Amino acid sequence: MALARFGPIALVLALIAGTAAAFAITETLKTSPSPILRTRVSKTFSPVCRCATSVASIAFELRRADRLTIAIQDAGGRTVRVLFTGRRTAAGPHAWGWNGRTDAGTRAPDGLYRPRVELDDADRVVVLPNRIRLDTTPPEVTVAGRPRVTAPGAITVRYTLSEPARGLLTVGGKRVVRTRRVLLDTTLRVAPSTLRAVGATRGRVTLAAEDLAGNVSEARVIGERR
For 171-189, the pLDDT digits (tens) are 999 999 999 999 999 999 9
141-225 and 35-134 share a CATH fold: yes
Which CATH number applies to 35-134: 3.40.1350.10, 2.60.40.4070, 2.60.320.10, 3.30.390.50?
2.60.40.4070
Element spanning 170, H or E: strand 155-171
| Residue 99: per-residue pLDDT | 98
For residues 117 and 83, is the Cβ–Cβ distance under 8 A? no
Burial, 22: exposed, middle or buried (Cβ in 10 Å; 0-12, 13-18, 19+)? Answer: exposed
Separation of alpha carbons 163 and 183, rounded Å = 8
Comparing 13 with 46, which gets the higher pLDDT?
Answer: 46
Separation of alpha carbons 186 and 163, rounded Å = 12
Q: Which of 164, 167, 179 is nearest to 143 (CA)?
A: 167
| Residue 29: per-residue pLDDT | 43
Strand, coil or helix: 8: helix
Quick check: 10 pLDDT over 50?
A: no
Separation of alpha carbons 133 and 155, rounded Å = 35
Whole-structure pTM value:
0.80
Element spanning 125, H or E: strand 124-127
Residue 18: phi and psi, rounded to 5, are -65, -40
DSSP 48: T
Q: What CATH number belongs to 141-225?
A: 2.60.40.10
| Residue 31: per-residue pLDDT | 56
Quick check: 108 pLDDT over 50?
A: yes
Cα first-last separation, the chain: 108
Residue extents of the structural domains in the chain:
35-134, 141-225
What's the Cα-to-Cα distance from 71 to each of 61, 103, 111, 196, rounded to whole Å?
17, 10, 16, 51
